[in-house]
C-alpha cells in the first residue's frame, strides 16, 4: 500500500466482514509530539484471544479464497518501520479495536493520502453501518457522525449525484479546516 488511508480502508473492510454495526475511524496528526495515530474501532463479532494473537501472521486469514491475509501484517510492519507500534484488542461478541502509531516525521512514514476518498467510499458503499470519523490535527478536531446526515437524506441512496457531491465536500472541508488552522 502506498498510503495510510488505503490501510485504513483495508482495516475498515475487516470490520465490515465482522458484521459491525458501528465503526469509528480516528486519525490524529499531532506534530507537537511527532505522532501520527490511526485507530479503527468496531462492534463486530470479535475474535477469541488465540485468534487475535495470530492475525499478525500473513498466513492466517478468515477468507476462503486464498491462504494469505496481508492487510494486518503489512500495516504492523509499516508502523514498526517508523518507530511506531501496532496494537489489536478484541473480544468475542463485543468487537475489535486496532490502534497504530507512527513517528510522524519518520522518513519512511508513508503519506496519509486521500483520506476523504477512503471515508466517502466506506460511507456510500456500506450505508447500513453507522460511521463515525474523527480527525484531529494538533488541537483542532473534525467530527463526522453519519446519523444526522442520514436522518436528513432519509430514504435516498447515498450514491445520488447531488448527495455524493455534498458528502464529499462535507468531509473534505472538515478535514481541510482542521489542517488549515495549523498551517504556519
Partner 1 sequence: MSTIKSLEDLKKAREEALKKRELKATSGTVQVIVGMGTCGIAAGARDTMKSILDTIEKDSINGVIVTQTGCIGLCEKEPIVQVVIGEAAKVTYGKVTPEVAKTILIEHVGNGKVVTDHVVNI
- Single out the residue of 32, 50, 111, 162 in contact with partner 1 (rule: CB under 8 A): 162
Residues 6+ apart with CB under 8 A from 20: 42, 43, 44, 95, 129
Reduced to 3 states (helix: H, G, I; strand: E, B; else coil), residue 135 is strand
Nearer to partner 1, 89 or 126 (CB): 126
CA angle 11, 150, 123 (to 5 degrees): 20
The C-alpha atoms of residue 66 and residue 89 are separated, in whole angstroms, by 25
The 129-158 contact track toward partner 1, x by CB under 8 A, reads ------------xxxx---xx--xxx-xx-
Stretch that binds partner 1, among 7-15, 25-33, 45-53, 90-98 (CB under 8 A): 7-15
57 binds partner 1 (CB under 8 A): no
Stretch that binds partner 1, among 5-13, 23-31, 40-48, 94-102 (CB under 8 A): 5-13
Nearer to partner 1, 49 or 180 (CB): 180
Angle between helices 71-80 and 4-17 (to 10 degrees): 140
Closest contact distance (angstroms) between CB of 159 and partner 1 is 5
The C-alpha atoms of residue 104 and residue 115 are separated, in whole angstroms, by 16
DSSP symbols for 10-75: HHHHHHHHTT-SEEEEEEEEEGGGTEEEEEEEE-S----HHHHHHTTSTT--S-SS-S---HHHHH
Closest contact distance (angstroms) between CB of 122 and partner 1 is 8
Q: Which residues bind partner 1 (CB under 8 A)?
A: 1, 6, 9-10, 13, 16-17, 63, 65-66, 69-71, 74, 114, 117-118, 120-121, 124-126, 141-144, 148-149, 152-154, 156-157, 159-167, 169-170, 173-174, 177-178
Amino acid at each position: 500500500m502506498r498510503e495510510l488511508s488505503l490501510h485504513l480502508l483495508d482495516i475498515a473492510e475487516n470490520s465490515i466482514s465482522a458484521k459491525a454495526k458501528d465503526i469509528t475511524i480516528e486519525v490524529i496528526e499531532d506534530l507537537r509530539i511527532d505522532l501520527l495515530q490511526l485507530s479503527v474501532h468496531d462492534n463486530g463479532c470479535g475474535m477469541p484471544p488465540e485468534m487475535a494473537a495470530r492475525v499478525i501472521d500473513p498466513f492466517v486469514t478468515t477468507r476462503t479464497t486464498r491462504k494469505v491475509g496481508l492487510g494486518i501484517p503489512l500495516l504492523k510492519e509499516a508502523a514498526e518501520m517508523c518507530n511506531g507500534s501496532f496494537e489489536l484488542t478484541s473480544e468475542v461478541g463485543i468487537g475489535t479495536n486496532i490502534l497504530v502509531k507512527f513517528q510522524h516525521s519518520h522518513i519512511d512514514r508513508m503519506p496519509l493520502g486521500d483520506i476523504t476518498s477512503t471515508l466517502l467510499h466506506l460511507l456510500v458503499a456500506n450505508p447500513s453501518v453507522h460511521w463515525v470519523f474523527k480527525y484531529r490535527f494538533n488541537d483542532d478536531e473534525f467530527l463526522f457522525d453519519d446519523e444526522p446526515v442520514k436522518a436528513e437524506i432519509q430514504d435516498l441512496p447515498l450514491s445520488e449525484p447531488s448527495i455524493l457531491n455534498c458528502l464529499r465536500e462535507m468531509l473534505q472541508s472538515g478535514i481541510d479546516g482542521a489542517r488549515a488552522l495549523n498551517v504556519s
